[in-house]
Chain A
Amino acid sequence: GQQLNQSPQSMFIQEGEDVSMNCTSSSIFNTWLWYKQDPGEGPVLLIALYKAGELTSNGRLTAQFGITRKDSFLNISASIPSDVGIYFCAGLYGGSQGNLIFGKGTKLSVKP
C-alpha cells in the first residue's frame, strides 16, 4: 500500500535554531498537509499545499510541495519553546476520500 516516510522521527534543538523535516514517498500525491499536535490535543492544520512546486508560509513556518509530487518539507525558522510538539505530514492520492495517509510524525523538543 501507499506509505509516507517522515523524517526525522525526533529532534532536539536549541531555541532560535531553524528546523527542517520532510516526508517522502514512492507514490504521487495531489495534496500535502502539515499538522502540529500538542500532547492530549487533536492535530491542528499548519499549512496546506495543492500544487506541485507550491511554497507556502505561515508565520515562521514554510512548507513546499515537491516538484515530483512525491515529497514535501516543512521548515520552522527561529524556533521557540512553544514549537514543541509532534508534526505530521499527510498526503492525498487518488480520487477517494479515504485516500489520505499520514506520516508517523516528527517529535520536536526545544531546549530553552
Chain B
Amino acid sequence: DVKVTQSSRYLVKRTGEKVFLECVQDMDHENMFWYRQDPGLGLRLIYFSYDVKMKEKGDIPEGYSVSREKKERFSLILESASTNQTSMYLCASWDSYNSPLHFGNGTRLTVT
C-alpha cells in the first residue's frame, strides 16, 4: 500500500513565523501535491511537483513556497504565516494517470 506521511498532525504557530510542513511518500511516485481544505471551499491546490526540483503553481500559491530536493519528500513553506492560512493541509502523491491520488493524514495548522 502507498504510504504518504505528513510529519505533524497539529501545529500552532504565531503570525509572522516561518512554517515548514513536511510530506514523505514511500512509493517512488513522480508527482506530489499540496492542498488546503477549508469548510465550504473544498480542496484547493497550492503547488504540485512532477519531479525533483520541479514545481508548478496550483490555484492558490500566494503566501506559499515549496521544495522538492528528493523524490520522496515535498515540503510546503509558509514564509511568514498569517491567520488566513489557518487550515487543514493535505499532501498527496501520484504515480501516473492510470493510478489514483493518495493522501496523507493531513496537518491542521492554526496561526494565532
Residues on A facing B (Cβ under 8 Å): 30-31, 33, 35, 40-45, 48, 50, 88, 90, 92, 97-98, 100, 102-105
Contacts and interface: CB of A to CB of B under 8 A. Distances in A.
A104 B106 CA distance: 17
Contacts, number: 52
Nearest to B44: A102
B84 interface: no
Contacts of A92: 97
B60 interface: no
A43 B42 contact: no
Contacts of B74: none
A103 B106 contact: no
Nearest to A98: B48
A42 B101 CA distance: 12
B103 A44 contact: yes
A30 B100 CA distance: 12
B101 A100 contact: yes
B100 A48 contact: yes
A31 to B, nearest CB: 7
Interface string B41-70: 111010010100000101000000000000
